[in-house]
Amino acid sequence: MISTKYSPYITFSREAWAKLRFNTPLTLTQSEIQELQGMNEKLSMKEVEDIYLPLTRLLNLYIKASQQLHTVTDEFFGEKTRKVPYVIGVAGSVAVGKSTTSRILQSLLMRSPDHPKVELVTTDGFLYPNDVLNKNGLMEKKGFPESYNIKELITFLTNLKSGDTKVKAPVYSHLYYDIIPNTYQEVVQPDIVIIEGINVLQTPKNEDKTLPSVYVSDFFDLSIFVDADEKDIQQWYVDRFKLLKDTAFTKRESYFKRFADLSVVEAEKVATDIWNNINKKNLDLNIKPTKNRADIIVRKGKNHSVSNIKLRKI
């Protein structure tokens, strides 16, 4: 464990972190882990044991403390206030592994002793539909702050954190590369909600007076930034693109079906161009600067194995 006087974080090496699991039981079978695996890499049982179980243990302790705070507040008011879900934000670059990390945490948290109801919501559902992006010249800016309907996201989070029993989030399809009209994810009385997206730690530009004066992260009880070397993230993006070329892109309804017949070399070139022209720019300009707002920074190495974890000194 390294704690420098001038950093708001304590840094744990992989080895030191793995020891913090204590007696959290390993609650996933090998087949459940397989289910959790992303699309092209192997998530090992060891990675779950060393990294994600200690993380789940910590999250469970924080959640318990937050419930105690709720009870204390009720005591102060002399009446029961509405139960609101514990909200965890997961941020990071496109292709860094936010969805995979969020799905692992969802699965492990759901298996905690009191079996909480854990919902996962991705902020791509709050992207403007392609026709709106096209009209505003934003098709090459998908994922940039201006491509999201932040007001709608803030309203969703406000309702969620007000204890509304049912809230609805719009749904994005990676296959259609667009919002699915009139389709919603219903979030009904969750105990924990994971909000995953590249934009969740961003702050609205001060000059934009039309945006609400609250940030997305104001609704989080805890935030996690998934971090890695830019070269590795680019590689994961290109690898995922090549895999999609042989799977999802071959489907008739795929927005990218024109890429299905590319050779491997051509696919690498197209993916690298999209990475450089859109996702890398977004990473440098809008995502990296939010890293140090996170409570926990999970740093991954080449093969997705976590090399260290930074924890904000609370």
Ligand X SMILES: Nc1ncnc2c1ncn2[C@@H]1O[C@H](COP(=O)(O)OP(=O)(O)O)[C@@H](O)[C@H]1O
Ligand Y SMILES: CC(C)(COP(=O)(O)O)[C@@H](O)C(=O)NCCC(=O)O
DSSP 8-class letter at 140: G
Q: Is 238 annotated as a binding residue?
A: no
CB of 295 to ligand X, least distance (A): 18
Using CB distances below 5 to 8 A depending on partner kind, what does residue 40 bind out of ligand X, ligand Y, none? ligand X
Using CB distances below 5 to 8 A depending on partner kind, what does residue 311 bind out of ligand X, ligand Y, none? none
CB of 132 to ligand X, least distance (A): 22
Q: How far apart are CA 223 and CA 298, in angstroms?
A: 11
Residue closer to ligand Y, measured from CB, 54 or 170: 170
Q: How far apart are CA 258 and CA 249, in angstroms?
A: 8
- The residues in 214-243 that bind ligand X, with binding defined as CB under 6 A, are 236, 240
Q: Which residues are within 8 A (CB) of 295 and not within 5 positions of it... i.e. 6 or more apart?
A: 222, 223, 224, 311, 312, 314
Using CB distances below 5 to 8 A depending on partner kind, what does residue 236 bind out of ligand X, ligand Y, none? ligand X
Beta strands in the chain (DSSP E): 2-3, 9-13, 86-92, 118-122, 166-173, 178-188, 192-196, 222-228, 296-300, 306-312
Give the residue nearest to ligand X (CB).
38
- The residues in 255-274 that bind ligand Y, with binding defined as CB under 6 A, are 274
Residue closer to ligand Y, measured from CB, 94 or 108: 94
Residues 96-115 vs ligand X: string with x where CB under 6 A?
xxxxx---------------
Per-residue buried b or exposed e for 186-209, using 16+ beta carbons within 10 Å of the residue's own CB = ebeebbbbbbbbbbbbbebeeeee
Q: How far apart are CA 187 and CA 163, in angstroms?
A: 11
Using CB distances below 5 to 8 A depending on partner kind, what does residue 310 bind out of ligand Y, ligand X, none? none
Using CB distances below 5 to 8 A depending on partner kind, what does residue 233 bind out of ligand Y, ligand X, none? none
Beta bridge partners of 11: 2, 310
Among 10, 11, 27, 41, binds ligand X (CB under 6 A): 41
- The residues in 108-137 that bind ligand Y, with binding defined as CB under 6 A, are 122, 124
Among 47, 59, 98, 119, binds ligand Y (CB under 6 A): 98
Cα 17 versus chain centre, distance: 21
Q: Is 87 annotated as a binding residue?
A: no
DSSP 8-class letter at 144: S
Q: How far apart are CA 25 and CA 268, in angstroms?
A: 42
**CB 182, CB 169: distance < 8 Å:** no
Site residue total, ligand X (CB under 6 A): 16
Closest by Cα among 196, 11, 41 to 105: 196
Q: How far apart are CA 297 and CA 144, in angstroms?
A: 22
Cα 312 versus chain centre, distance: 18
- The residues in 289-308 that bind ligand X, with binding defined as CB under 6 A, are 304
CB of 253 to ligand X, least distance (A): 20
Using CB distances below 5 to 8 A depending on partner kind, what does residue 279 bind out of ligand X, ligand Y, none? ligand Y
Among 28, 94, 160, 309, binds ligand Y (CB under 6 A): 94
Using CB distances below 5 to 8 A depending on partner kind, what does residue 124 bind out of ligand Y, ligand X, none? ligand Y
* Annotated binding residues for ATP: 92-99
Q: Summarize as ranges the residues that interact with ligand X (CB under 6 A).
A: 38-41, 43, 92, 94-100, 236, 240, 304
